[in-house]
Amino acid sequence: MRLTHRSAVVAWLVAAACGCTDGGTGGADVAQDADGEEEVQVDAPAIDPPAPPAPPLLTPCPEGWREVTESGSEVATCEPWPEGGPQDCTGDQAHFPGEPGCVTVGSACPTGDWAELPPGGDVVYVLAGAPPGGDGTRASPFGTIADAVAAATTDAVIALSKGTFDEPVAVDRTLTFWGACTAETTVTSSVADDRAAVFFATAGHLTVRNLRVTGERAGIVAGPGVGLTVQGVIIEGARVLGLYAAGAAPVVGTDLVVRDTRHDAAGGYGLGLNAEQHADVTLTRCAFERNRTAGIRVSSGSHVVLTDVAVRDTAGDGAGRMGRGIAVQDGGQVEVTRGALESNREAGVLASTDAVVGLTDVVIRGTEGQEADRAEGRGLHAQNRAQVTVTRGQFLANRKGGLYASSEASLVLQDVVIRDTRSEEASLTEGRGVVVVAPGEAELRRVLLERNRELAVGVSGAGAVMHLEDVIVRDTLAQEIDLAAGRALDLENGATVDLARALLSGNREVTVFVAGAGTSATFADLEVQDTRESDCGCPGGIGIGAYAGGHFDLTRFRIHGQALCGVQLAHGADLDDIPFAEGGTADMRDGEIYSQPIGVNIQTDGFDPSRLADRVALYDNEEPVDMSTEVPVPTVDTGGL
């Protein structure tokens, strides 16, 4: 007996040794063919198509950002830089996100020695190179900042002229230091001291405006309980750290640049901003460039809010390790709105140990491996109970992984694009889009993943949980080292996943890979199409596969155009070619499987094929149902992700 189709459609039934049943799918007629063989024709049921996923919504773009739509994509994204990318600015200029190019930091240089100050208040004048004996007036200025500090009353403004002041500044009360401009007023210290700063405030509120800070020690340090305001300031080439804040007194900054901070004598630190001991920091329109261990580090309960921020080219410590864009740990909290984190090392964002991170309208791009060993390079790494929320975010051309969560960390992604993740430079492995490892959890809503490597979405281990809604995964590539894999979804080792509305197209090997005892996935409104063969010549071209005890439940679906087969259930074997005792299982209803060499391949011992046949239509497959073990099965690696 054989199955045929009526009007090119088969509403499938499986004929085992006991005969044919249609599983409630439609009516069947039995006739004789020309050879006298019994022929079964089955009418297809009326099946509702799966609901398509909604694409990410990243527009309207923030002011000054460009709307960009990649060729062939329906998703418009927002670019913080002009077409040529960020400019490398020098001197008194910087390129902030949303600006067309380099802009002057602070006000333009005056024609005279000092900036024009607002009227009123106590002003003490300092002129670089002035002879001793001045009284701090404009007509008879002091020659050193130290003399001005000694003479100034609380709340006074100390006006600094054009020129270089080579002296550290110690502040123990509320004072404002106002330079002529960042191009021509420099406060520095040529005496090296890794435990001191150019500006060091121990009490009151320190304000620094319109000047440049550099030298052989830290830039600006606000001790515990000291408030700080920085406006129109460049901190360049400092040692140990550029800006330091501790304690609950507010630290506020606008038009701030911290660049080229150097590590200490032991090769550590080199931080652009270090906020600790419950610091409260708010920075707007700021750039952290070419710093060392981290562009920004936030720890011990501190809260940092960043708006219109660029963190770029963080290089790593003296041993070539780290190089993190933003590092948040020990209960630190960071909020970034309109941010560009680019060309950092090890991680664009590292969130660890009870950190809370919120990212809105951000681009994390081009993270590279550490200088020392070329390892890592993830866009975002969350671990140890960190909580991360990303809204309207892009993770582009990072290495090893776009986003990774483990050790009870949680991710919430909404309206996010993850593209072109590259394999790790050191090992040429991975290049994954987003991965959650037990114990960890994630929610993905309106997410697009394109051209990542090895796998786009991975969930591994008992206690790893992921919820997905409105997901598009396209063109996942093999990892570089062995040209293996290229999966859209890799669910294994006891993970729990539910998905509603997804389009998975043009991926490799197995588009949806469900493996391992206890692994459970629930899919609704799913389209899987055009799975390609493996680049390595390994078994592949499979739409959805369940192996080694993995199970999926599928409702409302279309599976079509795979290079080998639409659905495969099998035991599989491990890396040593030892078969697993349990096979993969599934339950399917309300769907279509068509246009591939094999519709369904069942190799799991004792599996009841009728579990796949509840209003499920198979048509235009060369072999609708294959129950042989001759169809190749991918290797199942139980080592975890």
Q: Which two structure tokens, joined as six digits, stand for 239?
A: 């040692």
Q: Is residue 559 part of a domain?
A: yes
Can you give the pLDDT at residue 18?
34
Q: With H, G, I as helix, E, B as strand and everything else as coil, classify residue 11.
A: strand
pTM here is 0.94
Q: Which domain holds residue 7?
A: 2-42
Residues of the chain with confidence (pLDDT) below 50: 1-11, 13-31, 40, 42
In a domain, 347, yes or no: no
Burial pattern 258-269, b for ≥16 Cβ within 10 A else e, equals bbbbbbbeeebb
Q: Using CA atoms in the order 387, 389, 395, 400, what is the torsion angle rounded to 10 degrees?
A: 20
Is 496 a domain residue? yes
User: Is 591 part of a structural domain of the chain?
Assistant: yes
Rounded to whole angstroms, what are the CA distances from 298 to 248, 273, 352, 622? 13, 8, 10, 59
**Pair type for strands 303-312 and 280-289:** parallel
**Any domain includes 18:** yes
Residue 502 CA to residue 10 CA, distance in Å, equals 25
Give the Cβ contact number of residue 137 at 10 Å.
11
Strands 28-32 and 38-42: antiparallel
What tokens were used for 537? 């010549």
**What is the per-residue pLDDT for 1?**
33
In a domain, 499, yes or no: yes
Q: How many helices (H) and strands (E) does the chain have?
A: 1, 47
Contact (CB, 8 A) for 423 and 399: yes
Helix ranges restricted to H, 38-154 = 145-151
> By C-alpha distance, which of 95, 54, 56, 58 is closest to 360?
58
Dist CA 377 CA 421 (whole Å)? 10
Q: Is residue 464 within 8 Å of 496, Cβ to Cβ?
A: yes
* pLDDT for 73: 85
User: What Å distances lie between residue 83 and 69, 78, 433, 442, 472, CA to CA?
Assistant: 13, 12, 25, 34, 27
Asked, for residue 336, whether it belongs to a domain, the answer is no
| SS3 of residue 138 by DSSP | coil
Q: Which helix (H) or strand (E) holds 161?
A: none
| Total domains, the chain | 2
Q: Buried (b) or exposed (e) across 193-204, using 16+ Cβ within 10 A? A: ebebbbbbbeeb
Interval 519-566: pLDDT, tens: 999 999 999 999 999 888 888 999 999 999 999 999 999 999 999 999
In 10 A of CB 49, how many CB atoms? 13
Tell me the three state secondary structure of residue 151: helix
Element (H, E) at 510: strand 510-515
The two three-digit tokens of residue 596, written as one number? 């591939």
Burial level of 236, CB count in 10 A (0-12/13-18/19+)?
A: buried
